[in-house]
Every structure is written in C-alpha cells, then in structure tokens.
Chains A and B, each alone.
Chain A
Amino acid sequence: MTISPAITSPERRPLRLAGLLPWLFAVLVVGYAMVVGGYAATVVSFALIYAVFVTGLNLFMGFAAQVSFGQNAFAAIGGYLSAVLTATYGWSPLPAMALGIAAAVLTAAIVGYPALRLKGHYLAMGTLAIGLITYEITVEWQSVTQGYMGISGIPPFGIGPYEITSDRGQLVLLSLVVAASLFAAARIRRSRFGRALSAVAGSEEAAVALGIDVARYKLAAFLLSAGFAALAGSLFVHVVGFVSPEVFGLHMVIVTFTMLYVGGIGTVVGPLVGALIVSLLPETFRAFKDYQDLAYGAALILLLIYAPRGLASLFSPRGRS
C-alpha cells in the first residue's frame, strides 16, 4: 500500500502572511478611493455594496455548496421596501431597512422551504424563477414601484439630522458594513453551524446518514444569504437615492456570480476581492475604448484559467488543490 504524502493541516502551514495579501489589497483600494474621492469613490462604494451581497451568496453557494440564481429577488425586496417606506411613506432609513431585511428573510423561508428540496440544476432553475418573478413584480406593480420609471428621492442614511451624503462618508459607512459582514462570515464558518454547512457541501447524503439535519441547515444558510442580499439592496437605494427594476435584474445575477468565482468561492475574503476586481477591471480597460468589453472578458477568462478557485484561494492553503 502506498503511503500518501503527509499533507499537514492547513493551520500548520507557514503561509499566514500570504493570506493577508487579499486583505491588504482591499484596504489599499478602499483607502485610495477615500483619498481620491469622486468617481473612484462611487465605483468602490458600489463594489462594497456588492461585497455584502456576494458574502451572503457565498454562505449559500460557497459554504454549503448549493446554487441560487435568485438572490437578486431578496435584494429587490430589501431595496424596494426601503425605497417605498422612506420615499413614499416618510420612514427613516434604518427601520425601513430592518423591515426590508425581515421581509426578505420571511420570503426566503416561504420560498426556500419547498424550493430547497430541489438539487443541483433544478435548484438553480427554481431560484432563477424566484428572481424573474420578483423582477416582473417590480415592473408591473406600478402603483407602488412606479414600474420602469423607478423611485427617486430616497433619503441617505443618517442619524437624526445628520445625513451621510458625502462620497467619503458613504465609503466609511459601507466599509464598516462590509467589515462586519466579513467578520460574521468568518465567525459562521468556524462555528458548529459552519461545520455542518461544510458537511453538507462535502456530501449531503453522508451528512444525513450521520444525523446532521441537512434540510434545516440548507434553509438556514438560504435565509442568512437572503438577509445579506436584502441588506445590500437597501444599502444600494439609500446610497444612490434611486431604484428601478433593472438594478436588481438578471445583470446583477451575472455580475455577482462573476465576483464570487473571481474572488474565491468558499473563502471569507473572496467576495470582497471579487467585488472590487470585477468592479474595477472594466474601468482599467477604459483606454481600450471599443475593445473594453473584449479586454474585460479576456481578463476574466485568464483569471479563471490561472486561478480557477478564485484569487483569494491563491493565498490560502486550504483552497489549493
């Protein structure tokens, strides 16, 4: 019998410093935007909002290895509730956001309970339908959502009379939210719940046969994921001050999937790195003019060839195959 090479446990590998590189990259990018302000700050702000969304997506797709093409639905619920309650009914942003998140999680529970019986491609199609239905509702329910016109005049975040309106103020706020989200993701990953999710990701059947309640944990991951999505949706409308159906359309699904895979699915920092790279890449190719999309596409392909498990995995021993 061959003795397999002694691969020591990830925590004993002398690669700790390299693991900090993605974090350093993120801090540098956000710091740069903070200093420069203006357009750079706007691009990075959007990237940070996406990072929150993708962190949630990663809980479901990375930690638990499930598929959902419908998380944009929960961003839409969070975003639209925030928008309607503040712009139409004059609520202040924080309670509107809280209600938006609660509504999204509740919807996820109602939808997820039956949908999560599906597996693989079927789950992907089922969740895609959730996203499409929500999109149609935001378009057609004009009395509330104002259809394609969208809702404008959504107030920014703030406490009492202090409103966060500056680019830099928003960047600070969003950085804090992202930091808290990543911290939560890291804690979840190391918790008992996180281990159960790893088991579900490893082998659902084996997990069930050991008495791990796979259905319950999948649903819990789905709800958490929906909560993050709704948080991101709400952040978006308050930062931009405007919302329309396209914001949470199919484009969002594609962009966030790209972010998740480019950044590193299953890692904690991956969603942030992916959100920043995918948001910034097109900007760096502006000089290519007509060929911007082509250059962007080529860069993505190269990334996926040379870092198939995402950029963050290049620096984390666990992600290496």
Chain B
Amino acid sequence: MSLAVAAKTDASTAPAILAATGLSARYGHIHALHGVDLQIGEGELVAVLGPNGAGKSTLLRAIMGLSANDGEVRFRGEALPRRDPVAVASRGIVLVPEGRGLFSPMSVSDNLELGAYRLGDKAEFKRRRERVLALFPRLKERLGQVAGSMSGGEQQMLAIGRALMAGPKLLLLDEPSLGLAPRVTEEILETLGLLNREGLAIVLVEQKAPLALELANRVYLLSLGRIVAELDPRDITSHDDLARHYFA
C-alpha cells in the first residue's frame, strides 16, 4: 500500500491541486464509485476516460460534493467539505455538468452574469466577461439570445464561459463533446487546451477518447467505479491499447 502511494506521488511531479483518496459514492442507491484515488497537479489537464456507466460523472459529482460520498478530497492540501457543493465551489472548483445545466429561458448575458454570482468586484466582472467573449466570439453575437434557443455547440460554449465567469482554479468538465458535431467539439477542446496552457487545471471526462488524448497530460481509465489504469497519453497509440487496459 505504502509503495503504491509512493509510486503515485512520484508519477505526478507537479504539486497536487486536488487529491482524492478512497473516494466512494452512490448514484441513487447504486454504488457507482469504489475507493477511487486520484491526483490532479497544478496546471494539469487530466482526462478521465471510460465506458458508459463507469462512474465518470459520479466521480465529478463526488468531488463537488453533489452526491453522497465517502473518502477524502483535498484541495491544495486542505480537506474539502464532503456534502457542501457551495463551499466547494467557493474554493474555486467549478463543474460544467453533463447536459450543460444552462439556465435555458434566460439570455446568454444573464447566464454569464450568474456564473459570476459570488463576485462583487465590477471591474473584475467586466474583465472576466471580456475574456470569455474573446475566447468564444460566437457568444458575443448572441448576448441577448435566449440560451435554450442556441445550437448545442453554442450552448456548450456558454456553459464553459459561465463556469469561467466564476473564476475557477480547477475546472471539471463532464463530456463537453456530447451530441456535438466533430468540428465544434474540436473548437471547444482547442479552447480548453488554450486555457490549460495558461495555467488552468482541468479534469476532462470524456467518452470520445481520441479527442481527450490529444489534450491530456495524463489519463485515468475508469471502469465499473474503479480506476483501472493511469496512463501517459503518449503511450496510447491505438484504440486497442485502450481496450487492452480496460480488460486487463
């Protein structure tokens, strides 16, 4: 056990922004996560891959404290409260949930504003908004539009933009490519890569492995609620490589 821990700490040289140990969680009455250990380094982009039902969403929800969970999650060394998502968010961990969770009847502009709900500083608000609109110029054209009436890609951009308005230190993304055309997905992932290169730590949950592998510094494979492998994306050259790890 101690050996395994030592090996893991060595693997990620950057200091951890997030470290989960023995994280278990339920999804309804089903145990969907069984004692997961994972670490995210400062400035790292980590992809969590796995088939449908592997517990990927549950993992992100457990980190946020959105679902009942056991175990410990530390953020920059400090233990996070386990059932208080508002407190978790206020530390700077922001989740873009599966299905985006937009405030659909409200305008793009209102959605962005609500992202920065906790922010009191007007100048900072303006700065963040300009930044988001520069990252996603399409949102700028649609500021007055009702969020729910936009295309899927634009909605995903808004969901990410809204999360950025909260000024995250760690961004958790749940399948941002879901239901999107390849070109839009690429555009969004490129933006995520850009944000990451600027220093934002990101956890990207994906089912579409090739896209995530292009961006990620490190990859966790999740299967049936357990982490089955931790990989360097450069070592994965084919789909067979991944499949081998799933079934190993």
A interface with B by C-beta (< 8 Å): 1-12, 192, 195-196, 198-199, 201-203, 205-215, 318
Contacts and interface: CB of A to CB of B under 8 A. Distances in A.
A214 B86 contact: yes
Given A4-B151, A196-B117, A213 B86 contact: yes
Contacts of A210: 89, 94, 114-115, 117-118, 162-163, 166
Interface stretch (B14-22, B96-104, B226-234): B96-104
A198 B106 contact: yes
B149 A199 contact: no
A212 B145 contact: no
A29 B109 CA distance: 38
A5 B94 CA distance: 30
Contacts of A6: 142, 145
Contacts of A201: 103
Contacts of B113: 195
Contacts of A1: 151, 153, 181, 183-184
A2 B180 CA distance: 11
B9 interface: no
A209 B66 contact: yes
Contacts of A211: 86, 89-90, 94, 117-118, 166
Contacts of B94: 209-211
Contacts of B146: 7, 9-10
A6 B181 CA distance: 20
* Residue among B94, B104, B145 with max Cβ neighbours from chain A (10 Å): B145
B77 interface: no
A4 B146 CA distance: 11
A157 to B, nearest CB: 39
Given A4-B154, A7-B146, A208-B66, 13 more contacts: A1-B181, A2-B151, A9-B145, A10-B107, A10-B146, A196-B114, A201-B103, A206-B102, A209-B64, A209-B66, A211-B118, A211-B166, A318-B105
B144 interface: yes
A215 B86 CA distance: 10
Contacts of A11: 144
Contacts of B106: 198, 202
A12 B163 CA distance: 27
B101 A209 contact: yes
Interface of B: 64, 66, 85-86, 89-90, 94-97, 100-107, 109-110, 113-115, 117-118, 142-146, 149-151, 153-154, 162-163, 166, 181, 183-184
A127 B247 CA distance: 50
A212 B95 CA distance: 13
Contacts of A3: 151
Contacts of A12: 144
8 contacts: A12-B144, A192-B117, A202-B103, A203-B97, A209-B66, A209-B96, A210-B114, A212-B114
A192 B97 CA distance: 23
Nearest to B64: A209
B89 A203 contact: no
Contacts of B151: 1-4
Nearest to A266: B105
A195 B110 contact: yes
Contacts of A2: 151
B82 to A, nearest CB: 14
Given A4-B149, A211-B86, A206 B103 contact: yes
Contacts of B104: 202
A206 B163 CA distance: 9
Contact of B102 (A196, A202, A318): A202
Contacts of B184: 1
Given A209-B66, A210-B162, A211-B166, A5 B149 contact: yes
Contact of A208 (B86, B107, B109, B115): B86
Contacts of B149: 4-5, 7
A199 B110 CA distance: 10
A208 B144 contact: no
Contacts of A206: 97, 100-103
Nearest to A317: B146
A1 B157 CA distance: 14
A7 B104 CA distance: 13
A208 B117 contact: no
A199 B154 contact: no
A211 B93 CA distance: 9
